[in-house]
């Protein structure tokens, strides 16, 4: 399984732990509430859902209301399918939440983990935050060394891009320091605007989170009443 597929599966399980959803509702949540996932299209989401169903972590159910079940045949359309987390799926998600290895510190993986910190124990949050900070401090050191070696060979625009990347990483380190201090003090961020979103703070290599070329939300949107 690729890292990106693993991130999507993690996010889907986390959202469905909150409540059952249609595929359309899931993608909407991935694209809005969890903006770090905006590049996932329906063509990626539905195979993921099928895999999770096959693993026994989700079940498919008819539309949640009698109106859903009646409206689709009358309109010549398929009935909506609701995806619900199984007991095994909940157990698997909780196992994923407890993992604090190096993979949890990477840009997109960390953003996904942070999005579900409200469902994560404090000690796990601390390990992930401290691991992420260490990873970024290593990145800063390498970026600074690289800039010092190549500064004389870079044109002004490339140099400015490198500086922007370093400033973005430094900004996230400061943010992580604040989060770690809050966790140590026993303060939760639930309902607090200071928590922000992981997308606003995580970086994407030396460009510091600049948009990736071709990073779109996908154009293969099916009818909203479909699966």
Let me know if residue 226 belongs to a domain.
no
For residue 44, the number of C-alpha atoms closer than 13 Å in the C-beta half-sphere is 19
pLDDT band at 43 (very low <50, low <70, confident <90, very high): confident
List, for residues 51-108, the tens digit of each pLDDT value: 999 999 999 998 754 445 455 555 555 668 999 999 999 999 999 999 999 999 998 8
Res 80: pLDDT: 81
Radius of gyration of the chain measured on its C-alpha atoms:
20
| Structural domain includes residue 227 | no
Lowest mean pLDDT among 3-17, 34-48, 151-165, 189-203: 189-203
Same domain for 160 and 71: no
Is 164 part of any domain?
yes
Spatial distance between the Cα atoms of 14 and 207, rounded to a whole number of angstroms: 29
**Count of alpha carbons within 13 angstroms of residue 206, beta-carbon side:** 13
pLDDT higher than 80, residue 220: no
Q: pLDDT at residue 116 above 50?
A: yes
Number of structural domains (the chain) is 2
Please name the helix (run of DSSP H) or strand (run of DSSP E) that holds residue 81, with its range, or none.
strand 81-85
Domain's final residue, options 74, 97, 120:
97
> Residue 159 is part of which domain span?
102-207
The tens digit of pLDDT for each residue in 7-21 reads 889 999 999 999 999
Q: Which two tokens stand for residue 213?
A: 């070329």
Q: What is the pTM of this model?
A: 0.73
Check which CATH number belongs to the domain holding 19 and give it.
Answer: 1.10.10.10
3-state class (DSSP) for residue 9: helix
Name the residue among 144, 199, 196 with its Cα closest to residue 170. 144
Indicate if 54 and 88 belong to the same structural domain: yes
């Amino acid at each position: 399984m690729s890292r990106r597929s693993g991130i999507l599966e993690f996010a889907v399980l986390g959202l469905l732990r909150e409540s059952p959803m249609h595929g359309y509702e899931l993608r909407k949540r991935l694209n809005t509430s969890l903006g770090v996932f905006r590049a996932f299209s329906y063509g990626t989401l539905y195979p993921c859902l099928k895999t999770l169903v096959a693993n026994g972590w989700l079940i498919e159910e008819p539309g949640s209301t009698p109106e859903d079940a009646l409206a689709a045949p009358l309109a010549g359309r398929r009935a909506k399918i609701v995806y619900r987390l199984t007991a095994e799926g909940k157990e698997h998600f909780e196992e994923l939440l407890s993992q604090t290895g190096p993979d949890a510190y990477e840009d997109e993986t960390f953003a996904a983990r942070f999005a579900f910190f409200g469902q994560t124990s404090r000690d796990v949050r601390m390990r992930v935050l401290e691991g992420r900070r260490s990873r970024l401090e290593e990145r800063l050191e390498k970026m600074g060394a690289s800039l010092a070696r190549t500064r004389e060979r870079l044109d002004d625009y490339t140099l400015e891009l490198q500086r922007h990347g370093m400033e973005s990483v430094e900004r996230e380190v400061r943010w992580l320091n604040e989060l770690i201090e809050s966790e140590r003090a026993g303060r939760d961020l639930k309902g607090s605007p200071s928590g922000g979103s992981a997308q606003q703070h995580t970086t994407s290599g030396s460009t510091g989170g600049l948009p990736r070329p071709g990073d779109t939300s996908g154009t293969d949107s099916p009818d909203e009443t479909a699966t």
